[in-house]
Chain A
Amino acid sequence: NAGVMQNPRHLVRRRGQEARLRCSPMKGHSHVYWYRQLPEEGLKFMVYLQKENIIDESGMPKERFSAEFPKEGPSILRIQQVVRGDSAAYFCASSPGQGSNTEAFFGQGTRLTVV
């Protein structure tokens, strides 16, 4: 059973370009969480999704950021018109459906560098 897969591991974008980060949850997991780790800071929750639904996006910046978790395929975190301040490590985690145990499994992260 493969773990949570994130790709790419490293992504370099010029200011103004779009960044698309992908997350394939563990097999059988229908809940996905995205976190951002800014340099010298801890992780901050961004968004929580279930298949085809955004459950909690209270940590998402109001503009330029969007997330989806379609019925088929990976979850995508999309950042439009990237700026230098978007440079960070973006982690995805997945867990089984509600009512299950406490653990969310993390991917290895995508390190976004905006130049």
Chain B
Amino acid sequence: GEDVEQSLFLSVREGDSSVINCTYTDSSSTYLYWYKQEPGAGLQLLTYIFSNMDMKQDQRLTVLLNKKDKHLSLRIADTQTGDSAIYFCAESGNAGNNRKLIWGLGTSLAVNP
């Protein structure tokens, strides 16, 4: 079946790098996503990666994809207190034209001053 797993909590010090990991099961997924949810807010797309890529960098964010192991990670460089949020990993599945996403439970990132 389809499943996305993430660790639930991560705590880092301000200025350090954060690495949030995710594993997924559907090898036919075309796209993999990272979303950010701040308390009481909606979901903000941070970045996504196409399944034929193994790395994508966007300013402080680096996404690594190991398709063989079905492992996705999000690295946030120079983590700031404003990065404290829940980070969701999601996969598109074999969606075709359907953007039905399969979500992890989210990793709660706490950034300590």
A103: nearest chain-B partner, CB-CB: B45
Question: A35 to chain B: which residues have CB within 8 Å?
Answer: 101, 103
Stretch among B9-17, B53-61, B92-100 lining the A interface: B92-100
**Is A104 on the interface with B (CB-CB < 8 A)?**
yes
Shortest distance between the CB of B54 and any CB in chain A (Å)? 17
Distance of A103 Cα from B31 Cα, bound (Å): 10
Shortest distance between the CB of B47 and any CB in chain A (Å)? 10
Contact at A45–B88, with CB atoms within 8 Å? no
Question: A102 to chain B: which residues have CB within 8 Å?
Answer: 31, 33, 48, 92, 99
The contact of B97 among A98, A104, A108, by CB within 8 Å, is A98
Contact at A45–B100, with CB atoms within 8 Å? yes
Given contact pairs A103-B45, A105-B45, A106-B44, A42 touches B99 in the complex (Cβ within 8 A):
no
**Is A55 on the interface with B (CB-CB < 8 A)?**
yes
Contact at B103–A33, with CB atoms within 8 Å? no
Contact at A56–B105, with CB atoms within 8 Å? no
B97: nearest chain-A partner, CB-CB: A98
Contact at B48–A43, with CB atoms within 8 Å? no
Question: B105 to chain A: which residues have CB within 8 Å?
Answer: 41-42
B45: nearest chain-A partner, CB-CB: A103
Distance of A33 Cα from B52 Cα, bound (Å): 26
Distance of A93 Cα from B100 Cα, bound (Å): 10
Given contact pairs A91-B43, A108-B41, A108-B42, A42 touches B98 in the complex (Cβ within 8 A):
no
Contact at B88–A33, with CB atoms within 8 Å? no
Distance of A57 Cα from B104 Cα, bound (Å): 20
Given contact pairs A102-B31, A102-B48, A103-B48, A56 touches B42 in the complex (Cβ within 8 A):
no
Given contact pairs A42-B88, A106-B42, A31 touches B106 in the complex (Cβ within 8 A):
no
Query: Would you list the 4 A-B pairs with minimal beta carbon distance, nearest first?
Result: A108-B42, A106-B43, A98-B97, A42-B105
List 19 A-B residue pairs with CB atoms under 8 Å apart, sorted by A's residue number. A33-B100, A41-B105, A43-B43, A43-B90, A43-B101, A48-B99, A55-B98, A56-B98, A91-B42, A93-B99, A99-B97, A102-B48, A102-B92, A103-B48, A104-B45, A104-B99, A106-B35, A106-B42, A107-B42
Question: Apart from A42-B104, A99-B97, A102-B48, what are 4 other A-B pairs with CB-CB below 8 Å?
Answer: A43-B43, A43-B88, A103-B48, A108-B42
